[in-house]
A and B are shown apart, each in its own frame.
Chain A
Amino acid sequence: MTSARTSPSTPEPGHAAGAEKGWIASVPPEEATGQLAQAYQKQQAKLGRVTELTQIGSLYPALVATRLALYEVVDATPSAIPEWARRAVALLTSVLNGCRFCTVGHTERLVEDGHGPLAEAIKSQPETASSSSPPVDALLSYARKLVRRPGEITEQDIQSLRDEGWSDLDILDVNNIAAYYCYINRVATGLGLTREA
């Protein structure tokens, strides 16, 4: 077993500027072993770093590994929803949940793909922001309701997605993206990753 930091809320001398460790202990990459080290290495290879969000679950290495595995699946679902629209759903979910930590990556990807204005609209007016595409707006409307009022979704909401041409796999995908970020947003906000990452 590796040793965990015992007082993560106290900034340590020399710890990286801008890093944020949250309110509970975590195992830094240089101290990780076994399953945790493997999970960290996988993310390191993909992103060039191990995110604070990944590290916040590190007292339970199986949690880190299975969260990352689910993330890969969420990211790779072979639906017909274009990548920028999937990012817009993820950003909208994170903004509605007030998870500033989770907004940065999605915003960057949208900007890279030429959808900077949509990202800005989602961040400034999440309740009404719309894209230039009615089918994508239907996805955003579904996500908005699912995030805010999950108990009020009805079959009519699904029909509205079908009316815009989305298939069952696309509906599974948009549901999974918004639901997944409702999970991850709460890992961040609930354990003290509160700043923009």
Chain B
Amino acid sequence: MPWISTIAPEQATGRLAEAYEWQAKRLGRPTEFTQLGSLEPEIVHARLALYKASENTSSALTDRQKNIASHVTSSVNRTPHCVSRSRIKLRELGFDEEVLAAVESSHFDGLPPEEAAVARYAEKLTRDPASISAADIEDLRRAGLTDHEILDVNNQVAHLNYTNRVANGLGLLSEVAPDFPAFDTVPV
């Protein structure tokens, strides 16, 4: 249970019910994360809209790169709920347990270069946002990222730095079940 009150799906009305139904169209229900904002329905709507835009950027970033960015961010921020969600995705995308465990401790040697570059940027931007320099962007370009992919990975890391703090800061510390449909949380 989170530390502030929330409104359950069966009690939601009006704008909140609309937002819940939007996410439920695909997932069958709103996530626990979505429910965290339910005291202010407009927050719920705006978060879902940003989430949808963030996950539909159409850059050439691979699913593996995008979810590595999320996983590193949530691991550095020590956000068990979000880590459990990205871990499911990375398993489905073919990562083995040993590499995942290393990534969760910010060891990226087991990753191919184009994924390690994304992981390094994610770790640095999360730990010390002011330390990023043009050289870090050059590192991404050398790994094959163009401006579109750089915008995408920056947004992914920055956005997770938002959602991690919503989860940790309001007491959503539980992990999702291993069979949670982690790819289905993005509203259509």
Contact = CB atoms under 8 A, between A and B. Distances in A.
Interface stretch (B42-50, B88-96, B111-119): B42-50
A60 B134 contact: no
Contacts of A168: 4-5, 39
Contacts of B157: 186, 190
A192 interface: yes
Interface stretch (B21-29, B161-169, B178-186): B161-169
Main secondary structure of the interface of A (DSSP, over half): helix
Interface stretch (A81-89, A116-124, A151-159): A151-159
Interface in B125-167: 125-126, 128-132, 134, 137, 147-148, 150-152, 154-155, 157-159, 161-166
A99 B164 CA distance: 19
B40 A169 contact: yes
Given A66-B53, A172-B39, A186 B125 contact: yes
B79 interface: yes
A23 B137 contact: yes
A153 B168 contact: yes
A59 B151 CA distance: 8
A69 interface: yes
Contact of B151 (A24, A158, A176): A24
Contacts of B5: 168
Given A59-B147, A98-B128, A172 B155 contact: no
B4 A172 contact: yes
B117 to A, nearest CB: 14
18 contacts: A24-B137, A62-B52, A69-B46, A72-B46, A76-B42, A150-B77, A150-B78, A151-B77, A172-B40, A176-B43, A179-B161, A179-B162, A182-B165, A183-B162, A186-B126, A189-B132, A190-B129, A191-B150
Interface of B: 3-5, 36-37, 39-40, 42-43, 45-47, 49-50, 52-54, 56-59, 77-79, 121, 125-126, 128-132, 134, 137, 147-148, 150-152, 154-155, 157-159, 161-166, 168-171
